[in-house]
Amino acid sequence: MDIAALSADALSRIAAAGDGEALEAVRVALLGKAGSISALLKTMGAMSPEERTARGPAIHGLRETVTAALTARKDALASAALEARLAGETVDLTLPAPETPRGSLHPVSQVMDELAEIFADMGFAVATGPEIEDDWHNFTALNMPESHPARAMHDTFYFEAAEDRQADAPQMLLRTHTSPVQIRTMLDVVSRHPGGAPLRIIAPGRVYRSDSDATHTPMFHQIEGLVIDRGIHLGHLKWTLETFLKAFFKRDDIVLRLRPSYFPFTEPSVEVDVGWTLNGARRALGGDGDAPGCGWMELLGSGMVNRKVIAFGGLDPGEWSGFAFGVGVDRLAMLKYAMDDLRAFFDGDARWLAHYAFSPLDVPTLSAGVGSRA
């Protein structure tokens, strides 16, 4: 046979090999010790140099062609076998993946973090105080002496006296507002740095009133703000509230209406209304409350800190002035995130939490924004 015929015959046998075993048999028949191409290669030893020069390349070429064809065929057979195996391993990917629980933060916590972030940018530190307070911090030091009529407005929870209570022990109660933290913070600062001020704090936390109906719960959350410095006046209060509310609600059109009011611990005292606009059927804060179809919502109480309160805090009211405000955290959360039922806040209903609560990664930051979009 000539080389060309040999080559054609070998390639067709390789192509016809259906599996690895058959292919190996072909390889042995061609390139094994007794293989036909091996035999041809052996004939080259007996050739004259001229003949080897003439026929050698063709013989070597034949071997290379066949070797390459064997390798290619082997790879093809292996690949086909792998595909066949994988085809048998098909799974239904519409089946559900393992479930991982989704944890969440309560709206009150989220909003408190948001407020801390906003006020940190304005230089306010976060202060805390006890919820089980004494009469003096909750009332007397806030310019509400024992017979003060304003005490009656507070619906206070009182504690039973301990059996071993000393005669002069203070009457303990659940704080009715976060304002006692004003006194505690001033006294604390004064004790550490004589002279004390200036200071800027917010004090978030639980407060209690013996009141329960559709819009009041006996426990709720408040945030207190206090600024003590030289030359502080009502204009600073207004700016601070405007700035905070604009940042919190992320609206530049927040309009405040200040109304004279009365709190024993501030003088002058100011009730703050915020204009709302109808967004569908819902009142959304923003816009001028006097515009047609709009209105005012009473949001918070505030004022210039009463001189007596500054003095109770250990500071000289002749030198220092300041403002304070208190606002409901639950209320802010409800207004911002469109929640209607205050009582649901304290029920722990997993369905409500799944709908209204926040991802732990919704960390309020100044760069990413304080607030989580629905």
Residue among 212, 215, 279, 365 that touches another protein (CB under 8 A): 212
Applying CB under 8 A, among 16, 39, 82, 153 the residue interacting with another protein is 153
140 binds another protein (CB under 8 A): no
Least separation in angstroms between CB 374 and another protein: 18
State yes or no: residue 240 binds another protein (CB under 8 A).
Answer: yes
Q: How far is the CB of 328 from another protein (least distance, A)?
A: 14
> In 267-312, which ranges are continuous DSSP H helix?
307-312
Radius of gyration for the alpha carbons in the chain, expressed in angstroms and rounded = 42
Should residue 279 be labelled a site residue for another protein when binding is judged by CB under 8 A? no
The answer to whether residue 208 forms part of the interface with another protein (CB under 8 A) is yes
Q: How many residues are recorded in the chain?
A: 374
Work out how close the CB of 41 gets to another protein at its nearest, in angstroms, rounded to a whole number: 50
* Cβ closest to another protein, residue 341 vs residue 349: 349
Q: Is 163 exposed, middle or buried (0-12, 13-18, 19+ CB in 10 A)?
A: exposed
113 in contact with another protein (CB under 8 A): yes
3-state DSSP assignment of residue 328: strand
Whichever of 73 and 137 has its CB closer to another protein, that residue is 137
Query: Is residue 252 involved in binding another protein (CB under 8 A)?
Result: no
Told to check if 368 binds another protein by CB under 8 A, we report no
- Closer CB to another protein, 64 or 298, in the complex: 298
Task: Pick from 3, 29, 77, 122 the residue near another protein by CB under 8 A.
Answer: 122
Residue from 5, 152, 167, 281 in contact with another protein (CB under 8 A):
152
Query: Token pair 């799974």 is at which residue?
Result: 91
Among 76, 78, 80, 132, binds another protein (CB under 8 A): 132
> Looking up tokens 């009715």, which residue turns up?
176
Coil vs helix vs strand at 349 = coil
State whether the Cα torsion 109-110-115-117 is positive or negative.
Answer: positive
Burial (0-12, 13-18, 19+ Cβ within 10 Å), 322: buried
Is residue 218 near another protein by the rule CB under 8 A? yes
- For residues 296-335, which are near another protein according to CB under 8 A? 304, 306-307, 321
Q: 324: phi > 0 → left, psi -120 to 50 → alpha, else beta; which? A: beta
The whole-angstrom separation of Cα 300 and Cα 276 is 15
Say whether residue 21 binds another protein (CB under 8 A).
Answer: no
Based on the shown chain and the rule CB under 8 A, indicate whether residue 192 belongs to the binding site for another protein.
no
Q: Binding to another protein by residue 222, rule CB under 8 A? A: no
User: What is the per-residue DSSP string for 65-83?
Assistant: HHHHHHHHHHHHHHHHHHH
